C-alpha cells in the first residue's frame, strides 16, 4: 500500500492552511489527497498539463499550447491562500506524487466575487472529483468572505456546465462567442 503523506520537497509557506488537507475516496475506491497548492508544485503542474488531452487543455485554457508559460506555472503554484486560492488532488505513484486535478479561485472584476477554474486529468473526469473540488473551493471562498463566484466555460463543456448547475445557484448566465459566463453562489 502506498502512503499518502510523503515528505514535501520544500517546507510549506508560513501561511499554508494545513487544516484543509484531507484524504478522499472516489467511487471506485481510489484514495486521493486534497490539499492547498504549494510553490513546490510547479513541476507537478507541468506534468499534469503534459498528460492532458488536447480537448481537456482547450476546455481549461481556451487554447492548446505545447507548454504552459513558466510565469503562468509560477503564478498558479504561488497563491496567498486568501484572495488567490487553489487546491490540488494528488495521488501517490511509484514515481512520486502526481497531481491529477486542480481547483482554484482568483479575484474577479465583480465585487465580492472570485473567478473559479478547474482542470482534471482525463482519467479522473466523471468520477466525482470535480464535484469534490468545486464544493471545497466554494466552501473555502465563503470562509474567506466571498459570496459569489464567476466561471467562464466553453459552451460545449457540458460536464462542467451541468456540474455548476447542479451544485450551485446560477444568478446570471451570458453566452458570447461560444463561452458561457456564469455568476453563481453556493446552494
Mean pLDDT of 27-33: 93
Residue 66 has pLDDT above 80, yes or no: no
Which pLDDT band, with edges at 50, 70 and 90, does 99 fall under? Answer: very high
Per-residue confidence (pLDDT) for residue 73, from 0 to 100: 79
- Could you tell me where the beta strands, DSSP code E, fall in 72-145? 85-93, 96-107, 113-120
Per-residue confidence (pLDDT) for residue 39, from 0 to 100: 94
Written as nine digits, the cell of 122 is: 482525463
pLDDT tens digits, one per residue of 115-168 = 999 889 988 988 899 999 999 999 999 999 999 999 999 888 898 999 999 999
Residue 4 has pLDDT above 50, yes or no: no
The superfamily in CATH containing domain 18-147 is Gcn5-related N-acetyltransferase (GNAT) (3.40.630.30)
Sorted by where each begins, the domain ranges of the chain are 18-147
Q: Which residue has the cell 499534469?
A: 48
Question: Within a 10 A sphere around the Cβ of 93, how many other Cβ atoms?
Answer: 10
Amino acid at each position: 500500500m502506498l502512503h499518502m503523506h510523503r515528505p514535501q520537497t520544500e517546507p510549506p509557506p508560513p501561511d499554508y492552511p494545513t487544516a484543509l488537507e484531507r484524504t478522499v475516496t472516489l467511487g471506485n475506491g481510489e484514495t486521493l489527497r486534497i490539499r492547498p497548492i504549494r510553490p513546490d508544485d510547479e513541476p507537478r503542474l507541468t506534468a499534469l498539463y503534459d498528460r492532458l488531452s488536447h480537448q481537456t487543455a482547450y476546455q481549461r485554457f481556451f487554447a492548446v499550447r505545447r507548454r504552459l508559460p513558466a510565469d503562468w506555472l509560477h503564478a498558479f503554484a504561488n497563491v496567498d491562500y486568501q484572495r488567490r486560492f487553489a487546491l490540488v488532488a494528488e495521488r501517490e505513484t511509484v514515481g512520486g506524487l502526481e497531481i491529477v486535478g486542480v481547483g482554484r479561485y482568483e479575484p474577479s472584476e465583480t465585487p465580492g466575487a472570485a473567478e473559479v477554474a478547474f482542470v482534471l486529468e482525463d482519467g479522473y473526469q466523471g468520477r466525482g472529483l470535480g464535484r469534490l473540488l468545486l464544493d471545497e473551493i466554494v466552501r473555502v471562498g465563503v470562509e474567506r468572505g466571498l459570496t459569489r463566484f464567476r466561471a467562464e466555460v466553453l459552451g460545449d463543456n457540458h460536464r462542467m456546465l451541468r456540474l455548476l448547475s447542479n451544485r450551485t445557484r446560477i444568478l446570471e448566465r451570458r453566452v458570447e462567442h461560444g463561452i458561457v459566463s456564469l455568476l453563481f453562489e453556493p446552494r
